[in-house]
């Protein structure tokens, strides 16, 4: 058996090929992509004096290689094409260097004939020239232009990382760049700042250190000199007392409002308008912490505000209740349970032949949700009448009880509890595109997806499922279809019971 297998192995340039490798087409010609890949692998094996021990089956399948020094290692042929160094040899091999640059194993500095690879050499020369010119030190090995290198810029900052191409285009130390930008900004902003001081007849009393470091300025307005950042000064800010924005003026204004309102500041130092202080308001509630800004805007005791809000909410609720009761009366309906909130369902009798129905006041007012049994289609109505005439118990607009791990919210046209069966009456919109239905409701795709989910859920609850085709909008035809399906269902149940 083994001899037969060996006879079938095809060898191409010293590479044993598995049966799955198709080197030739039906005409006996080479399949070029396969040949090119094998040639590339064979060239590398010959150049490096390596031997592949296993049969080649695919580019990404691991095989065993032996280097010229007898080291055995495992690698995929694909990886071998761009990383053909023996891991055991490379451990003992001295570092590959070029003009002070340590080269990674994947860097092909030389061609097969021993000459320099011009493109690689040019890139390395450019990098080496830049390092020598700037007196910088390369700390990591060079792999390629898309792998970052670590450089000691010898500027006092930590070594930085950069792409080789970016470095040769004058990208330097990041920290030095920030300092340089600050210096340039400082050089531009200081003359502008001093010019504005001169134009406004203001006097700088401390040293300028930057746009954000505060300086003391005499505004020549009669008030004491004030501390301000040059950046804010250049944006238009001036003496806070002249603008009624100094702390002393803010405290005076706060005290005036406190006296006017009959309130008392009992705790907390004034720091700024956004730091809270404790105020005892002119009411029976406890003192509250509040920011001066909020107090000046008219905000008062929290408990009083809560009480007012609660009272306002109660008034709105009473008004909504009154409006709802008037609407029910206007519609000629009868409210049978107490109104509690706009979202809590109430029981309403719609003065029709059907029983009273529960609905939320919001749905009743905004969506005109009335008796669900009166609003059914003619197809549903004729089936409903037939069920009543034949004394078959049913529940219209049925929903399953909420399940912990199940879907909830699907509404079905009818549920027959004694037969454990769901009935769904499907109009044309369930089978074909209907423009008016899709504009106002669902597209055909969404409608059919919803039908599928409803069916799956009903069946998961152990129910029989009857779909009545009502696409022609012919009630009598829909009834005939339903009776046939219903009769078949009863017959199947009877047969099972007999068995």
- Alpha helices by DSSP H, listed for 9-31, are none
The pLDDT-based confidence of 94 (bands split at 50, 70, 90) is: low
Cα angle vertex 327, ends 322, 330, to 5°?
A: 125
Place of tokens 């992509």: 33
Tell me how far CA of residue 19 lies from CA of 16, 60, 121, 455, in angstroms. 10, 16, 43, 51
How many other C-beta atoms can be found within 10 angstroms of the C-beta atom of residue 260? 8
Q: What is the share, in percent, of the chain residues with pLDDT greater than 70?
A: 90
pLDDT at 77 over 70: yes
pLDDT at 153 over 80: yes
Q: What is the mean pLDDT of residues 189-199?
A: 86
Tell me how far CA of residue 320 lies from CA of 8, 256, 307, 314, 481, in angstroms. 91, 42, 20, 10, 47
The candidate with the shortest Cα–Cα distance to 457, out of 406, 381, 495, is 406
Crossing angle (nearest 10°) for helices 378-389 and 475-498: 50
Q: Identify the pLDDT of residue 246.
A: 66
Q: What is the mean pLDDT of residues 267-289?
A: 87
Q: What is the mean pLDDT of residues 20-24?
A: 89
pLDDT at 499 over 70: no
pLDDT at 5 over 70: no
- What does pLDDT average to over the chain? 84
Q: Identify the pLDDT of residue 4.
A: 43
Q: Identify the pLDDT of residue 273.
A: 82
Would you say domain 376-499 falls under CATH 3.40.960.10?
yes
Domain ranges of the chain: 2-92, 97-172, 177-234, 247-300, 301-373, 376-499
The pLDDT-based confidence of 113 (bands split at 50, 70, 90) is: low
Supply 210's token pair. Answer: 């930057």
The pLDDT-based confidence of 80 (bands split at 50, 70, 90) is: confident
The DSSP secondary-structure symbol of 56 reads B
Could you tell me if 422 and 462 are in contact, meaning their C-beta atoms sit under 8 angstroms apart?
no
Q: Identify the pLDDT of residue 7.
A: 45
Q: What is the pLDDT of residues 386-442, one digit of tens each?
A: 999 999 999 888 888 765 444 456 889 899 999 999 999 998 888 888 765 555 567
Length of the chain: 499
Q: In what order do the strands lie in the sheet with 421-426?
A: 395-398, 412-416, 421-426, 464-469
The pLDDT-based confidence of 172 (bands split at 50, 70, 90) is: confident
Q: What is the pLDDT of residues 229-251, one digit of tens each?
A: 888 888 888 887 776 566 777 78
Lowest mean per-residue pLDDT among 34-38, 131-135, 298-302, 449-453: 298-302
DSSP 92-119: HSPPPEETTEEBPTT---B-TTS-B-HH
Could you tell me if 273 and 290 are in contact, meaning their C-beta atoms sit under 8 angstroms apart?
no
pLDDT at 138 over 60: yes
- Alpha helices by DSSP H, listed for 9-56, are 32-48
- Alpha helices by DSSP H, listed for 49-173, are 77-82, 87-92, 118-134, 164-168
The pTM of this model reads: 0.34
HSE-up of residue 100 (Cα within 13 Å, Cβ side) = 14
Helix (H) or strand (E) holding 74: strand 72-75
Q: What is the mean pLDDT of residues 442-466?
A: 90
The pLDDT-based confidence of 358 (bands split at 50, 70, 90) is: confident
pLDDT at 49 over 80: yes
Report which listed range, 154-158, 363-367, 371-375, is most confident: 154-158
Q: Identify the pLDDT of residue 104.
A: 84
Q: Identify the pLDDT of residue 257.
A: 87
Strands 149-152 and 160-162: antiparallel
pLDDT at 223 over 50: yes
Lowest mean per-residue pLDDT among 90-99, 103-112, 127-136, 147-156: 90-99
Q: Identify the pLDDT of residue 368.
A: 67
Q: Identify the pLDDT of residue 406.
A: 46
d(CA 480, CA 468) in angstroms, rounded, equals 9
The greatest distance separating any two alpha carbons of the chain, rounded to the nearest whole angstrom, comes to 112
Q: What is the pLDDT of residues 366-384, one digit of tens each?
A: 776 677 767 677 888 899 8
Contacts (Cβ under 8 Å, ≥6 apart) of 480: none
Q: What is the mean pLDDT of residues 288-301?
A: 86
Q: Identify the pLDDT of residue 2.
A: 40
Q: What is the pLDDT of residues 296-346, one digit of tens each?
A: 888 888 888 888 888 888 888 889 899 989 988 888 888 999 998 888 889
- More confident: 110 or 485: 485
Q: Identify the pLDDT of residue 405.
A: 45
Lowest mean per-residue pLDDT among 86-95, 198-207, 309-318, 455-464: 86-95
């Amino acid at each position: 058996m083994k001899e037969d297998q060996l006879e079938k192995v095809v060898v191409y340039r010293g590479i044993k090929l598995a049966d799955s490798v198709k080197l030739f087409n039906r005409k006996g010609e080479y399949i070029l992509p396969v040949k090119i890949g094998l040639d590339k692998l064979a060239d590398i094996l010959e150049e490096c004096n390596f031997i592949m021990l296993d049969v080649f089956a695919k580019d990404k399948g691991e095989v065993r290689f032996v280097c010229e020094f007898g080291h055995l290692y495992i690698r995929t042929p694909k990886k071998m094409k761009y990383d053909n160094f023996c891991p055991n040899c490379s451990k003992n091999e001295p570092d590959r260097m070029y003009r002070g640059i340590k080269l990674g194993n994947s860097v092909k500095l030389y061609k097969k004939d021993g000459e320099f690879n011009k493109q690689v050499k040019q890139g390395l020369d450019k990098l080496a020239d830049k390092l020598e010119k700037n007196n910088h030190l390369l700390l990591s090995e060079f792999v390629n232009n898309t792998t970052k290198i670590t450089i000691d810029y010898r500027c006092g900052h930590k070594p930085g990382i950069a792409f080789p191409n970016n470095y040769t285009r004058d990208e330097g130390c990041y920290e030095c760049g920030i300092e340089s930008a600050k210096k340039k900004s400082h050089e531009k902003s200081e003359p502008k700042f001093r010019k504005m001081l001169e134009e406004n007849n203001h006097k700088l009393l401390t040293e300028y250190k930057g746009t954000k470091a505060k300086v003391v300025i005499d505004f020549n307005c009669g008030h004491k000199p004030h501390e301000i950042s040059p950046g804010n000064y250049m944006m238009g800010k001036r003496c806070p007392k002249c603008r009624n924005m100094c702390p002393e003026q803010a405290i005076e204004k706060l005290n005036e409002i406190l006296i006017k309102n009959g309130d008392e500041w009992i705790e907390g130092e004034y720091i700024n308008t956004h730091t809270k202080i404790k105020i005892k308001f002119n009411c029976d509630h406890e003192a509250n912490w509040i920011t001066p800004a909020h107090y000046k805007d008219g905000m008062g005791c929290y408990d009083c505000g809560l009480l007012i809000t609660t009272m306002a909410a109660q008034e709105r609720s009473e008004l909504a209740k009154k409006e709802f009761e008037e609407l029910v009366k206007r519609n000629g309906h009868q409210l049978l349970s107490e109104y509690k909130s706009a979202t809590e369902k109430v029981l309403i009798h719609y003065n029709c032949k059907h029983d009273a129905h529960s609905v939320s006041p919001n749905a009743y007012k905004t969506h005109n949700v009335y008796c669900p049994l009166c609003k059914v289609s003619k197809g549903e109505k004729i089936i409903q009448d037939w069920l009543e005439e034949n004394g078959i118990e049913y529940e219209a607009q049925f929903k399953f009880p909420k399940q912990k791990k199940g879907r909830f919210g699907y509404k079905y046209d009818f549920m027959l509890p004694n037969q454990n069966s769901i009935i769904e009456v499907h109009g044309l919109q369930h089978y074909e595109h209907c423009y008016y239905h899709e504009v106002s409701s669902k597209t055909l795709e969404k409608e059919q997806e919803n039908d599928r989910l409803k069916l799956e859920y009903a069946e998961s609850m152990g129910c029989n499922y009857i779909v009545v085709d009502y696409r022609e909008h012919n009630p009598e035809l829909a009834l005939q279809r339903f009776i046939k399906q219903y009769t078949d269902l009863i017959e199947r149940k009877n047969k099972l019971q007999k068995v």
